[in-house]
Amino acid sequence: MATTPADELRTIAVDAPTAQAPVARPAAGLLGQPLGLALLLLVGAALVALPWLTSAYWVRVFTMVFMFAALAQSLNVIAGFAGYADFGNGVYFGIGAYATGFLMQQGLPPPLAVLVGALLAVLLAALLGLPILRLKGHYFAIATIGVMEGVRELVTNMGFVGGGQGLNVPIIRMSPAQFSTLIYFLMFALMVGYTALVYWLSRSSLGYGLRAIKGDEQAAAVMGIDTTRSKVIAWCLSAACTATVGGVYAIWAGFIEPGVAFDIVRGTEYFMMMLLGGAGTVFGPILGAFILQLIGNLVWSQFLHGHLAILGVVIVLIVLFLPSGLVNAFRRGPSWRLLGRQGAGVGR
C-alpha cells in the first residue's frame, strides 16, 4: 500500500523519541576527559599569561583571533545549529558598534553602552525574525545581506551618528599597554563565554530542537517543536552576542564608519571560520578562527602582495577535503578523537 508524505511524517514523529534517545544522554566530551580538561586549562593559562610574555604585536593578533572566534560562535547559534546561513549577521556587529560609540558620546559608561547596543540588536532581530525566518536556503541568505546593506545605507545618511564620515568613540583614559590588555581580556572573556553558551545549547532542549529544524523543519513541527519560536530565540541570541563584540570593537578602534561596521567581508570571514572548524560543534568555530587568523597573519607577513590568493587556495583545499569541518574530521580519526568529541548530538 502506498504511503503519503503525511504518513511518513507521522512515522518520523512516532519513531523520533526512540531514535533520539541515545543522543539525549550528554556526552562526556572534551570537558569530561581528564587529559582533555588538562589540555584546555593549560591552553587557557597560556592565553591568560600571553600579554606579559610577548610583544604588543602578538597581543593585537590574538585579540583579533578572540574577536573572530567570538563572532564565529555567535553565528554558530543560528547557522551551525539551526542551519540558517546568516550572511548578514554583521548587521548586529554594526548596530552594537554604533550604539556603543554614540551612547558613550552622550556620557554613558562603556559597559552600559555595550549592553544597550546588544538590546537594540535583539529588538531588531525579534522584529525581523518572524518574516525573514520564514525564508529558507539562499532566499534567507540573500534577505539577510539585504537587511545589512539597507541598515548600512540608513546609518550612512544619519547625521547624528556621523553619517558617512564616521563616529569618534570617546577614549578610555589609561596607558596604551593597559588599554590593549583590557581589550585582550574582554575579547577573551567573550570567546570563553560564548563557548560556554554553545556548550549549554548543545545539551539543552532548545539545542535539540534547532538540530531537528536543521535536519527536517517540517518533521520537527510535526514532532511538536515550535519551530518559529526556536528560530527567533536562536537569532536573538546570535544578535546579542554579535552586537556585544561590535560594542567592544568600537571601544577598541576609537572610530567607526559604515563601511567598516557593516562589512560583509568580515561576516564572510567568520562564516568560513565556523565552517572550517565545524558548524554546530562546540569548539569548531574557535579552532577555525585560530587557524584562519594565524595562517592569515603568517601568510601576510611573508607574501605581502599575494597573501589573499594564497589564503584563498588554502581555504578552498580545506573546504574540499574537509566539508564537515576539522572537528568532525578529528572525531573520525582515532588519534584525534579526544578533541573531536563534543556536546550531545552536535555537528552530526
Question: Which helix (DSSP H) or strand (DSSP E) does residue 248 occupy?
Answer: helix 227-253
Q: What is the pLDDT of residue 298?
A: 75
Report the 10 Å Cβ neighbour count for 166.
18
Q: What is the pLDDT of residue 339?
A: 44
Report whether pLDDT(345) > 70: no
Report whether pLDDT(6) > 80: no
Q: What is the pLDDT of residues 71-81, one digit of tens each?
A: 999 999 999 99
Report whether pLDDT(192) > 60: yes
Q: What value does the mean pLDDT take over residues 109-135?
A: 95
Report whether pLDDT(58) > 50: yes
Of residues 311 and 164, more confidence is placed in 164
Query: What is the average pLDDT score of the chain?
Result: 84
Q: What is the pLDDT of residue 326?
A: 84
The b/e string for 253-274 (b: 16+ C-beta within 10 A; e otherwise) is: eeebbbebbbbbebbebbbbbb
Report whether pLDDT(11) > 50: no
Q: What is the pLDDT of residues 67-104, one digit of tens each?
A: 999 999 999 999 999 999 999 999 999 999 999 999 99
Report whether pLDDT(344) > 70: no
Q: What is the pLDDT of residue 35?
A: 78
Report whether pLDDT(346) > 70: no
Q: What is the pLDDT of residues 257-295, one digit of tens each?
A: 999 999 988 988 899 899 889 999 999 999 999 988 888
Domain boundaries, the chain: 28-44+54-338
Q: What is the pLDDT of residue 219?
A: 93
C-alpha distances in Å from residue 299, one per residue of 14, 146, 274, 303, 330: 53, 32, 20, 6, 25
Q: What is the pLDDT of residue 323?
A: 76
Q: What is the pLDDT of residue 301?
A: 63
- Mapped onto helix, strand or coil, the DSSP state of residue 15 is helix
Q: What is the pLDDT of residue 22?
A: 37
**Euclidean distance between CA atoms 194 and 76, whole angstroms:** 10
Q: What is the pLDDT of residue 34?
A: 75
Of residues 312 and 249, more confidence is placed in 249
Q: What percent of the chain has pLDDT over 70?
A: 81
